[in-house]
Structure 1
């Protein structure tokens, strides 16, 4: 007996949403939802999304729409790649058209300001009963669209659904591992952006490679401590969604969060930096949320604290680095601080 291919809706036509839609379109009928009718028309007419991914050719079978109802009504799986600050509104708007029990996969590497919720928690609130998970890893959209090899982890509440959904994303050059640690994988994506800003501040200030390696290594320790305190599996933070994504976001020249930090390290204010950006750097919004989560969990996160001080409290990046270096180091593995 033949089984039809699952229909997939990808919500969000930014660079990463478009890249994921291009991947999935090779294995299943896929529709990409764009807020802009012009973006949707270009995808349908020319197999391009020049606003977000330049001249990269998209699969000819990939369709797009600016209607949420059209995108999700017949979907067997929904992938959401809108920025964290627009995630709740997108889910609320789509909810009346989503069929029961359809799995929801978040691509978002951020936390909701005000509520401190992860994206899957928002799905649970607005679409109760729908299995909700996350796809995350060291994935630079332009490299994946160009055909470079990469890998990611998909986490769902149960292993069977994680393995089944992994098949939608897996290609010969895009390896997908599965997990049931939704909390850990989702926190990895949000936390690493904050630390990429810290690494970028060091780049902008000319701190050197030794310092950058120190910041990345200690940042992973902070991520692991908070993630475990909030219910994540400590092993997740050493994997693709944790250590892997942290490294690429801290070193890639196209990483938006690293570039924000670099500009701050050169003495620009956060207002000046954001005024010159057309795309979202999730770490900016997440910095204060992460500091609040750490304080309530009783977890010391000196690097995250200093990033929050620069972004939200007017501190200078150079002062933040001096503050970190003044702190006396303790035991490398069991110490609580920096």
Structure 2
């Protein structure tokens, strides 16, 4: 049986945590995977050195996951074409706004039998429609693409604090392979076939987390946050049922990618953190991103804007009051206490 050539596209906080898992797992399953894993790293300067050079020498992403050692078989590559050349399994873990551009560069350089998995928590939402990033990857690269999402704060995963995650993969055979690539004693994987629901939950929960952050900034307690989480879960489920129909399964909302991810994101994570600071400081979101996120970007606020445009084009804003309220507070200058009064 031919072994799989694994490539990781992306190297931020989450991408680095995932690289640790994958690097160790391919060494534990040499009958299934080649030992060397190339990781595309967007080149940056850190203390006058290339980040890729530091990673390959120190086996640590000192910018995005400081203090966590990466396996020595993870090789940082600054050129995305060189990183993905001949790969049969491609793991996407880049900010969702860069997916299309990165995939266009990769076209024609993968192995003929390549498959992909998306760890990107977002949707491409415009006034004309909603596209899953697994679909966008599949469309551009002409390969099948699964999805992974769950209650997975990157720093906790990197430090091997137990958690679960969900892989949505229509192919049972590929699902077994992805399980082998990701599952560990501390990162427990469950594979289901609902790749649509996995991604939908992963994207929309970020909007709810922004609302939870507003509540924290206003000084409300656990009861209030529980109400926001419950209402947010209802709107996520309604969005899936309304616009994806039977493609989204009810049981998916009880997987790690559903309720568990929603809960942990509303109590931790950067969307909640920045939204709380937005209320407490009055600073613009872009300023807070620069101050608090070490070069990373929020996804919840951008997704709220995209969801608003999509719903507005269909005159359906009133049917999703929590999503709409988050949008109005961030983009229309409404008072943060609207999160309580309007939902």
Does TM-score exceed 0.5, indicating one fold?
A: yes
Per the alignment, residue 6 of structure 1 pairs with 4
Q: Is the 1:101–1:131 Cα contact (8 Å) retained in structure 2?
A: no
Contact 1:226 1:297 in 2 (8 A): no
Q: Write out aligned runs for 1:1-338 (5 A).
A: 3-28=1-26, 29=35, 30-36=37-43, 38-112=50-124, 114=126, 116-128=130-142, 130-231=143-244, 232-252=248-268, 255-266=269-280, 267-276=282-291, 277=293, 278-294=295-311, 296=314, 298=316, 300-324=319-343
Report how far residue 41 of structure 1 moved.
Answer: 1.4
Rate the CA distance shift 1:176–1:162 in 2: closer, same or farther, 3 A: same
TM-score by length of 2: 0.88
1:330 aligned residue: none
**How far apart are the structure 1 equivalents of 2:14 and 2:59?**
16
SS at match of 1:6: coil
Residue 125 of structure 1: CA displacement? 2.2
Q: CA deviation at 1:70?
A: 1.9
Matched-pair contact (CA < 8 Å) for 2:106–2:141: no
1:312 Cα deviation after fit: 2.1
For residue 117 of structure 1, report the CA deviation from its aligned partner.
2.2
Q: Distance in 1 between matches of 2:336 and 2:316?
A: 25
In structure 1, stretches of 5+ residues that fail to align are 325-338
Partners in 2 of 1:125 and 1:297 — Cα distance? 29
Distance 1:72 1:270 in 2: 34
Q: Which residue of 1 aligns with 2:29?
A: none
| Distance (Å, rounded) in 2 between the aligned partners of 1:238 and 1:174 | 17
Give RMSD over aligned pairs: 1.8
Q: Indicate conservation of the 8 Å contact 1:72/1:94, yes or no.
A: yes
Question: How many residues get paired?
Answer: 319
Q: What TM-score does the superposition give when structure 1 sets the normalisation length?
A: 0.89
